[in-house]
Amino acid sequence: MRLSQLIDGLHGARRIGWRDVEIEGLATDSREVRRGGLFIALRGARFDGHDYIEQALRAGAAALVVEKPVEADVPVVVVDHTSTTEALLARIFYGDPSSKLVLVGITGTNGKTSTAFMLRSILERSHGPAGIIGTVGFGAGDEWYEATNTTPSAAELGRILAGFVARGCRSAVMEVSSHAASQGRIAGLEFDAGVFTNISRDHMDYHRTIEAYIEAKETFVRSLCAPGRRKSPGALAYNIDDPHVAEVGGRYDGPSVSFGTAEGADLRPVGLEADLAGTRMTIAGPRWSVPVKMSVLGRFSALNALGAAAAADAVGAGPEQIRDGLEAVAGIPGRFQLIPARCGPTVIVDYAHTPDALEKLLSFCGELASGRIITVFGAGGDRDRGKRPMMGRAAVERSDLVFVTSDNPRSEDPDTIVRDILEGTAGSDTPLEVVFDRAEAIRRAVSAARAEDLVVIAGKGHEEYQILADGTIPFSDAAEARRALAALEVCDQG
């Protein structure tokens, strides 16, 4: 596409060293620039793209979009905000792919990934091939790619969604993080429906206050019926059990459907049963009800299923398609993932990395276990320090034995992170060990458990890496748990 075609709609943009050139792609990361690409210099919380212009030019950038004039041998376009400009350019360059898909976004502190996998399964039955974008990765059909962010940049989103259209997808589901909403990454996308799962403490290192965090989530909600949309207003499916979410849902001006266990919810679970064999309930609404037997585990999975059902219903899926889609989900990577073994304790790997998620996870495990709850967890470095003691308190209050370990310490001293966690455990009688090596902590927890115990490994879930101060190393909680269980089998056979 010619540069003139791309920037034709940018009001107030200034051109420096202008000449019309062919643009082969968009990039916001200088390491991803290819010859003929347009480099968009974003200002982020930790990095400023303007500092990497030279690298982008060396990589072959054919033009630049910036917020301040720079000298370069290529055309430079100066705009007020590169973040919102990126979204507009992506929509134009990739042919407005969101207009060609039934697009559903999912936001909330917890449950986004599980809801997304459930919803994709339903949409595959009601609309045909469906793509998915989220924390675990993105893909359609048998193609799958790991993700670096829950919600990619606007340029990357445009490329991914255009790829879905090219593959014949009729719909797509994507997780919408609070960072993405506040940074304008979803600007220009028109969602047919949105799901708001819940709100609890997270990302306070970025948003600073819970009010700002909620506002970021509501930015996405308001986009569902924003002025100037070409699509009709999108439907909001919201969790009425969460007071913050219910308040946002009550303010929404477009069509909406509530879900939850509270009286007055449009979709409710009737006869809910949840154990290690699965989750069973009847999804009951004002127009239809359908019994569901799901393989996904966890009482909280029922709310995720209700959110997926509510959104699917809003975009035209029928009750039988909703049932079949939910029942077809065999499991979700790193979300209440049961690690199979011939002997030894029951081991669960879960992504729970907030106080609320850890509390709900351990509470449900307490309902299931006939023996003790043994918990392994840590907290991420360079992130919200305030939630660490809250997670420590949740762990000791709902466990019989706790191993505090490293999560992704990043550049922060692991000892500092552990000290913050231990502030929340003061005064508890629950036995607790600090084992900084996460693999060793998992081994000790599994070896300390009896057959009737339940070992919960929380925090990293699906991740297959660990981020340390000196780099990223391969690491999987599930793989380490399998090794520890296999060692028990050897001992048992011996």
How does pLDDT run across 167-190, given as a tens digit for each residue?
Answer: 999 999 999 988 777 777 888 899
b/e 51-64 (16+ beta carbons within 10 angstroms → b): ebbeebbebebbbb
Which two tokens mark 190?
């028109």
- Mean pLDDT calculated for residue range 436-457: 97
How many structural domains compose the chain?
3
- Mean pLDDT calculated for residue range 245-255: 95
Which two tokens mark 366?
């307490």
**Chain centre distance of CA 370:** 32
Same domain for 79 and 122, yes or no, is no
Tell whether 133 is covered by a domain.
yes
- Mean pLDDT calculated for residue range 210-225: 90
Least-confidence region, from 197-201, 292-296, 342-346, 398-402: 197-201
pLDDT class of 433 with cuts at 50, 70, 90: very high
Range of the domain at 359: 337-493
Dist. CA 90–CA 186, nearest whole Å: 10
How does pLDDT run across 31-67, given as a tens digit for each residue?
Answer: 999 999 999 999 876 789 999 999 999 999 999 999 9
Residue 435 has a pLDDT of 98
How does pLDDT run across 271-283, given as a tens digit for each residue?
Answer: 999 998 999 999 9
pLDDT class of 355 with cuts at 50, 70, 90: very high
Residue 448 has a pLDDT of 97
Same domain for 199 and 221, yes or no, is yes
How does pLDDT run across 87-100, given as a tens digit for each residue?
Answer: 899 999 999 999 99
Same domain for 380 and 466, yes or no, is yes
Dist. CA 333–CA 380, nearest whole Å: 20
What secondary structure does DSSP assign to 333-384, as a single string? TTBSEEE--SSS-EEEEE---SHHHHHHHHHHHHHH-SS-EEEEE---TTS-
Mean pLDDT of the chain: 93
Same domain for 153 and 102, yes or no, is yes
Same domain for 449 and 412, yes or no, is yes
Residue 141 has a pLDDT of 87
Q: Is the pTM of this model over 0.85?
A: yes
Same domain for 162 and 70, yes or no, is no
What secondary structure does DSSP assign to 306-342, as a single string? HHHHHHHHHTT--HHHHHHHHHT---BTTBSEEE--S
Check: CB of residue 216 under 8 Å from CB of residue 248: no
Same domain for 253 and 270, yes or no, is yes
Same domain for 210 and 72, yes or no, is no
Residue of 61, 52, 64, 1 lying closest to 34 (CA atoms)? 61
Dist. CA 388–CA 382, nearest whole Å: 12
pLDDT class of 388 with cuts at 50, 70, 90: very high
Count of CB atoms within 10 A of residue 476's CB?
A: 19
pLDDT at 397 over 80: yes
- Mean pLDDT calculated for residue range 278-290: 96
- Mean pLDDT calculated for residue range 184-212: 81
pLDDT at 211 over 80: yes
Dist. CA 255–CA 225, nearest whole Å: 9
pLDDT at 494 over 50: no
Tell whether 121 is covered by a domain.
yes
Torsion sign, CA atoms 14, 17, 18, 22: negative
CATH assignment at residue 277: 3.40.1190.10
Same domain for 312 and 448, yes or no, is no
CATH assignment at residue 354: 3.90.190.20
**Chain centre distance of CA 410:** 19
Tell whether 332 is covered by a domain.
no
Three-class secondary structure of residue 471 per DSSP: strand
Same domain for 286 and 267, yes or no, is yes
DSSP state of 127: T
Angle (CA) 482-372-491 rounded to 5° is 40
Dist. CA 319–CA 313, nearest whole Å: 8
